[in-house]
Structure 1
Amino acid sequence: MPKAVHDEPTCSIERSLQVLGERWTLLIIREIYTGKHRFAEIQSSLGIASNLLSTRLKTLVEAGVLRKRTYQAPGSRHRDSYHMTPAGQDLQVILAALQQWGDCYCPRPSGPSALRRQRSTGQPVHVGFIADDDTHEIAASDVSLL
Protein backbone atom coordinates (compact mmCIF):
# COMPACT_ATOMS: atom_id res chain seq x y z
CA MET A 1 0.00 0.00 0.00
CA PRO A 2 1.50 3.39 -0.96
CA LYS A 3 2.40 5.76 1.81
CA ALA A 4 0.15 8.79 2.27
CA VAL A 5 1.84 12.04 1.28
CA HIS A 6 1.51 13.44 4.80
CA ASP A 7 3.11 10.43 6.54
CA GLU A 8 6.37 11.33 8.23
CA PRO A 9 9.01 8.62 7.76
CA THR A 10 10.05 7.05 11.05
CA CYS A 11 13.52 6.16 9.78
CA SER A 12 16.07 8.98 10.17
CA ILE A 13 17.97 7.69 7.12
CA GLU A 14 14.84 8.05 4.99
CA ARG A 15 14.19 11.56 6.36
CA SER A 16 17.81 12.53 5.67
CA LEU A 17 17.59 11.23 2.12
CA GLN A 18 14.53 13.41 1.52
CA VAL A 19 16.95 16.35 1.86
CA LEU A 20 20.25 14.83 0.69
CA GLY A 21 19.30 11.96 -1.61
CA GLU A 22 19.23 13.68 -5.00
CA ARG A 23 22.21 13.00 -7.27
CA TRP A 24 23.64 16.53 -7.21
CA THR A 25 23.05 17.45 -3.58
CA LEU A 26 26.21 16.10 -1.95
CA LEU A 27 28.30 17.35 -4.87
CA ILE A 28 26.90 20.85 -4.31
CA ILE A 29 27.75 20.57 -0.62
CA ARG A 30 31.27 19.40 -1.54
CA GLU A 31 31.74 22.47 -3.74
CA ILE A 32 30.63 24.79 -0.95
CA TYR A 33 33.05 23.05 1.44
CA THR A 34 35.86 23.75 -1.01
CA GLY A 35 35.08 27.47 -1.05
CA LYS A 36 32.72 27.90 -3.98
CA HIS A 37 29.84 29.91 -2.53
CA ARG A 38 28.38 31.66 -5.56
CA PHE A 39 25.80 30.13 -7.89
CA ALA A 40 27.95 30.63 -11.01
CA GLU A 41 31.01 29.06 -9.34
CA ILE A 42 29.06 25.99 -8.27
CA GLN A 43 27.34 25.66 -11.65
CA SER A 44 30.59 26.02 -13.59
CA SER A 45 32.46 23.55 -11.41
CA LEU A 46 29.76 20.86 -11.59
CA GLY A 47 28.29 21.48 -15.03
CA ILE A 48 24.79 21.26 -13.53
CA ALA A 49 21.77 22.84 -15.22
CA SER A 50 20.78 26.13 -13.59
CA ASN A 51 17.21 25.00 -12.87
CA LEU A 52 18.48 21.87 -11.05
CA LEU A 53 21.02 23.87 -9.07
CA SER A 54 18.36 26.42 -8.09
CA THR A 55 16.04 23.66 -6.91
CA ARG A 56 18.75 21.86 -4.91
CA LEU A 57 19.99 25.07 -3.27
CA LYS A 58 16.42 26.03 -2.33
CA THR A 59 15.87 22.59 -0.75
CA LEU A 60 19.13 22.84 1.22
CA VAL A 61 18.30 26.35 2.47
CA GLU A 62 14.76 25.30 3.48
CA ALA A 63 16.16 22.24 5.29
CA GLY A 64 18.59 24.41 7.27
CA VAL A 65 21.73 22.91 5.68
CA LEU A 66 22.71 26.16 3.94
CA ARG A 67 22.06 29.82 4.55
CA LYS A 68 22.06 32.59 1.98
CA ARG A 69 24.10 35.78 2.20
CA THR A 70 23.47 38.65 -0.16
CA TYR A 71 26.42 40.22 -1.97
CA GLN A 72 26.77 42.73 -4.77
CA ALA A 73 29.69 42.89 -7.18
CA PRO A 74 30.46 46.42 -8.39
CA GLY A 75 28.07 47.38 -11.18
CA SER A 76 25.91 44.28 -10.71
CA ARG A 77 22.63 43.44 -9.03
CA HIS A 78 22.37 41.81 -5.63
CA ARG A 79 22.95 38.06 -5.64
CA ASP A 80 23.03 35.30 -3.04
CA SER A 81 26.00 33.27 -1.91
CA TYR A 82 25.55 30.00 -0.03
CA HIS A 83 27.22 29.01 3.24
CA MET A 84 27.06 26.06 5.61
CA THR A 85 24.96 26.18 8.75
CA PRO A 86 25.97 23.97 11.70
CA ALA A 87 23.77 21.24 10.15
CA GLY A 88 25.70 21.61 6.91
CA GLN A 89 29.05 21.50 8.71
CA ASP A 90 28.01 18.22 10.31
CA LEU A 91 27.70 16.69 6.83
CA GLN A 92 31.49 16.80 6.46
CA VAL A 93 31.75 13.39 8.11
CA ILE A 94 29.29 11.96 5.56
CA LEU A 95 31.31 13.33 2.66
CA ALA A 96 34.48 11.99 4.27
CA ALA A 97 32.92 8.54 4.68
CA LEU A 98 31.79 8.52 1.03
CA GLN A 99 35.24 9.61 -0.10
CA GLN A 100 36.90 6.99 2.08
CA TRP A 101 34.60 4.28 0.72
CA GLY A 102 35.17 5.42 -2.88
CA ASP A 103 38.95 5.49 -2.41
CA CYS A 104 38.79 1.90 -1.15
CA TYR A 105 36.20 0.31 -3.44
CA CYS A 106 36.22 2.56 -6.54
CA PRO A 107 39.85 3.74 -6.56
CA ARG A 108 41.39 5.97 -9.20
CA PRO A 109 44.53 4.51 -10.79
CA SER A 110 46.40 7.69 -9.79
CA GLY A 111 45.27 7.43 -6.16
CA PRO A 112 42.93 9.53 -4.01
CA SER A 113 41.94 12.96 -5.32
CA ALA A 114 42.16 14.43 -1.81
CA LEU A 115 43.49 13.49 1.61
CA ARG A 116 42.11 14.49 5.00
CA ARG A 117 44.48 15.49 7.77
CA GLN A 118 44.17 16.87 11.28
CA ARG A 119 44.82 20.62 11.09
CA SER A 120 46.91 20.84 14.24
CA THR A 121 49.21 17.87 13.58
CA GLY A 122 49.02 17.14 9.87
CA GLN A 123 48.33 13.49 10.68
CA PRO A 124 46.02 11.56 8.33
CA VAL A 125 42.49 10.96 9.62
CA HIS A 126 39.71 8.57 8.65
CA VAL A 127 36.05 8.04 9.47
CA GLY A 128 35.19 5.31 11.95
CA PHE A 129 33.03 4.35 14.91
CA ILE A 130 34.10 5.60 18.35
CA ALA A 131 32.43 4.42 21.56
CA ASP A 132 30.54 7.23 23.31
CA ASP A 133 32.32 6.58 26.61
CA ASP A 134 35.80 5.96 25.19
CA THR A 135 38.30 7.05 22.56
CA HIS A 136 39.04 3.75 20.86
CA GLU A 137 37.77 2.89 17.41
CA ILE A 138 35.31 0.03 17.03
CA ALA A 139 35.28 -2.19 13.93
CA ALA A 140 32.21 -1.69 11.73
CA SER A 141 31.56 -5.43 12.01
CA ASP A 142 31.15 -4.97 15.77
CA VAL A 143 28.47 -2.26 15.45
CA SER A 144 24.79 -3.17 15.33
CA LEU A 145 21.81 -1.05 14.36
CA LEU A 146 19.04 -1.37 16.93
Structure 2
Amino acid sequence: MVAHVTPPEALDWDVDNCTISRAMEILGEKWTMVVLREIFSGIRRFEDMRVRTRIPRQVLTNRLSALVRAGVLRREPYREPGARVRHEYRLTEKGFDLYPVMIALAGWGNRYLADPAGPPIQFVHWDCGAELHAELHCAESHEVTGHRDVLPRPGPGAHRRG
Protein backbone atom coordinates (compact mmCIF):
# COMPACT_ATOMS: atom_id res chain seq x y z
CA MET A 1 0.00 0.00 0.00
CA VAL A 2 1.39 3.42 -1.00
CA ALA A 3 0.72 6.28 1.37
CA HIS A 4 -0.35 9.61 -0.09
CA VAL A 5 2.30 12.20 0.63
CA THR A 6 1.19 15.81 0.74
CA PRO A 7 3.85 18.09 -0.75
CA PRO A 8 5.27 20.71 1.64
CA GLU A 9 3.36 24.00 1.62
CA ALA A 10 6.65 25.81 0.99
CA LEU A 11 6.48 24.61 -2.63
CA ASP A 12 3.57 27.02 -3.18
CA TRP A 13 5.78 30.04 -2.55
CA ASP A 14 8.39 31.73 -4.74
CA VAL A 15 11.91 32.19 -3.36
CA ASP A 16 13.17 34.81 -5.82
CA ASN A 17 13.20 37.51 -3.10
CA CYS A 18 14.53 35.25 -0.31
CA THR A 19 16.45 37.30 2.25
CA ILE A 20 18.56 34.28 3.23
CA SER A 21 19.77 34.03 -0.38
CA ARG A 22 20.43 37.75 -0.44
CA ALA A 23 22.40 37.55 2.82
CA MET A 24 24.46 34.67 1.46
CA GLU A 25 25.34 36.75 -1.62
CA ILE A 26 27.20 39.01 0.81
CA LEU A 27 28.34 36.54 3.48
CA GLY A 28 28.45 33.16 1.76
CA GLU A 29 32.07 33.06 0.68
CA LYS A 30 34.51 31.46 3.18
CA TRP A 31 36.91 34.37 3.36
CA THR A 32 34.12 36.84 4.15
CA MET A 33 33.44 35.27 7.54
CA VAL A 34 37.18 35.00 8.20
CA VAL A 35 37.55 38.74 7.51
CA LEU A 36 34.61 39.46 9.82
CA ARG A 37 36.15 37.23 12.50
CA GLU A 38 39.30 39.33 12.31
CA ILE A 39 37.44 42.62 12.54
CA PHE A 40 35.29 41.38 15.43
CA SER A 41 38.61 40.44 17.10
CA GLY A 42 39.93 43.99 16.70
CA ILE A 43 42.17 43.43 13.69
CA ARG A 44 41.22 46.22 11.30
CA ARG A 45 44.21 46.87 9.07
CA PHE A 46 44.68 45.18 5.70
CA GLU A 47 48.26 44.02 6.21
CA ASP A 48 47.55 42.67 9.70
CA MET A 49 44.63 40.65 8.32
CA ARG A 50 46.63 39.40 5.34
CA VAL A 51 49.57 38.24 7.45
CA ARG A 52 47.45 36.65 10.20
CA THR A 53 44.99 34.83 7.92
CA ARG A 54 47.22 34.19 4.88
CA ILE A 55 44.35 35.31 2.64
CA PRO A 56 45.75 36.10 -0.82
CA ARG A 57 46.09 39.87 -1.29
CA GLN A 58 43.56 40.13 -4.14
CA VAL A 59 41.01 37.95 -2.36
CA LEU A 60 41.29 40.10 0.78
CA THR A 61 40.95 43.28 -1.30
CA ASN A 62 37.83 41.88 -2.98
CA ARG A 63 36.25 40.71 0.31
CA LEU A 64 36.85 44.04 2.05
CA SER A 65 35.55 46.00 -0.95
CA ALA A 66 32.40 43.85 -1.11
CA LEU A 67 31.73 44.31 2.60
CA VAL A 68 32.18 48.08 2.27
CA ARG A 69 29.83 48.17 -0.76
CA ALA A 70 27.26 46.14 1.19
CA GLY A 71 27.44 48.62 4.09
CA VAL A 72 28.79 46.02 6.56
CA LEU A 73 32.14 47.81 6.92
CA ARG A 74 33.33 51.37 6.52
CA ARG A 75 36.84 52.58 5.73
CA GLU A 76 38.61 54.91 8.17
CA PRO A 77 41.78 56.66 6.99
CA TYR A 78 44.94 56.59 9.09
CA ARG A 79 48.55 57.54 8.45
CA GLU A 80 51.70 56.18 10.03
CA PRO A 81 54.45 58.84 10.37
CA GLY A 82 56.18 59.24 7.00
CA ALA A 83 53.82 56.86 5.18
CA ARG A 84 50.92 57.33 2.78
CA VAL A 85 47.31 57.33 3.92
CA ARG A 86 45.90 53.84 4.45
CA HIS A 87 42.56 52.59 5.74
CA GLU A 88 41.27 50.60 8.65
CA TYR A 89 38.04 48.70 8.32
CA ARG A 90 35.38 49.27 10.95
CA LEU A 91 32.01 47.63 11.49
CA THR A 92 28.93 49.68 10.71
CA GLU A 93 25.68 49.18 12.59
CA LYS A 94 24.74 46.67 9.88
CA GLY A 95 28.05 44.90 10.56
CA PHE A 96 27.58 44.85 14.33
CA ASP A 97 24.18 43.23 13.73
CA LEU A 98 26.13 40.18 12.50
CA TYR A 99 27.43 39.48 16.02
CA PRO A 100 24.73 36.86 16.75
CA VAL A 101 25.60 35.16 13.44
CA MET A 102 29.29 35.06 14.40
CA ILE A 103 28.46 33.75 17.88
CA ALA A 104 26.19 31.04 16.45
CA LEU A 105 28.73 30.04 13.79
CA ALA A 106 31.55 29.89 16.33
CA GLY A 107 29.37 27.88 18.72
CA TRP A 108 28.53 25.35 16.03
CA GLY A 109 32.18 25.10 14.93
CA ASN A 110 33.39 24.81 18.53
CA ARG A 111 30.91 22.01 19.19
CA TYR A 112 31.53 19.95 16.06
CA LEU A 113 34.86 20.96 14.54
CA ALA A 114 37.28 21.90 17.34
CA ASP A 115 40.54 20.06 17.88
CA PRO A 116 40.67 17.67 20.87
CA ALA A 117 42.37 20.40 22.93
CA GLY A 118 39.31 22.61 22.50
CA PRO A 119 38.19 25.56 20.44
CA PRO A 120 40.73 28.12 19.24
CA ILE A 121 38.41 31.07 19.86
CA GLN A 122 35.72 31.80 22.39
CA PHE A 123 33.47 34.81 22.64
CA VAL A 124 32.87 35.85 26.23
CA HIS A 125 30.82 38.44 28.06
CA TRP A 126 33.03 41.48 28.74
CA ASP A 127 31.49 42.03 32.15
CA CYS A 128 31.71 38.56 33.74
CA GLY A 129 33.86 36.49 31.36
CA ALA A 130 31.24 33.78 30.78
CA GLU A 131 31.19 32.23 27.32
CA LEU A 132 28.51 33.54 24.98
CA HIS A 133 26.10 31.30 23.14
CA ALA A 134 23.22 31.96 20.77
CA GLU A 135 19.68 31.37 21.97
CA LEU A 136 16.40 31.66 20.13
CA HIS A 137 13.42 33.49 21.57
CA CYS A 138 10.18 34.46 19.88
CA ALA A 139 8.88 38.03 19.91
CA GLU A 140 6.85 37.11 23.02
CA SER A 141 10.10 36.10 24.82
CA HIS A 142 9.38 32.35 24.81
CA GLU A 143 12.53 30.27 24.61
CA VAL A 144 12.82 28.07 21.53
CA THR A 145 14.50 24.85 22.65
CA GLY A 146 14.38 22.61 19.60
CA HIS A 147 13.98 22.57 15.85
CA ARG A 148 10.42 21.27 16.21
CA ASP A 149 9.53 24.54 17.98
CA VAL A 150 10.14 26.47 14.74
CA LEU A 151 7.60 26.81 11.94
CA PRO A 152 8.77 28.48 8.74
CA ARG A 153 5.87 30.35 7.13
CA PRO A 154 5.43 32.88 4.37
CA GLY A 155 6.14 36.46 5.46
CA PRO A 156 4.50 39.66 4.29
CA GLY A 157 6.86 39.89 1.31
CA ALA A 158 6.18 36.34 0.08
CA HIS A 159 4.77 35.75 -3.40
CA ARG A 160 2.85 32.68 -4.53
CA ARG A 161 4.45 30.73 -7.35
CA GLY A 162 2.60 31.28 -10.52
Please indicate the TM-score interval, normalised by the length of the shorter structure.
0.7 to 0.9
Name the % identity: 36
Which residue does the alignment assign to 1:85? 92
Query: How many equivalent pairs are there?
Result: 138
The runs of at least 4 consecutive aligned structure 1 residues that moved more than 4 Å come to none
- Tell me, in whole angstroms, the C-alpha distance in 1 between the residues paired with 2:55 and 2:44: 15
Which residue does the alignment assign to 1:5? none
Which residue does the alignment assign to 1:116? 123
C-alpha displacement of 1:83: 0.3
* Aligned partner letter, 1:126: H
SS class of match (1:67): strand
Which residue does the alignment assign to 2:146? 140
- Tell me, in whole angstroms, the C-alpha distance in 1 between the residues paired with 2:64 and 2:118: 31
Which residue does the alignment assign to 1:129? 136
* Aligned partner letter, 2:43: K
C-alpha displacement of 1:113: 1.8
* Aligned partner letter, 2:143: E
Please list every run of 5 or more consecutive structure 1 residues that lacks an aligned counterpart in the other structure: 1-7
Q: Indicate whether 1:32 and 2:58 are aligned.
A: no
Query: If the length of structure 2 is used for normalisation, what is the TM-score?
Result: 0.79
Output one character per residue of 1:86-123: Cα deviation in whole Å (capped at 9) or x when no partner. 11111111111111111112232001223333223333
Query: If the length of structure 1 is used for normalisation, what is the TM-score?
Result: 0.87
Which residue does the alignment assign to 1:3? none
RMSD: 1.6
- Structure number with greater CO (CA < 8 Å, separation at least 6) is 2
Please list every run of 5 or more consecutive structure 2 residues that lacks an aligned counterpart in the other structure: 1-14, 154-162
C-alpha displacement of 1:85: 0.2
Q: Indicate whether 1:58 and 2:65 are aligned.
A: yes
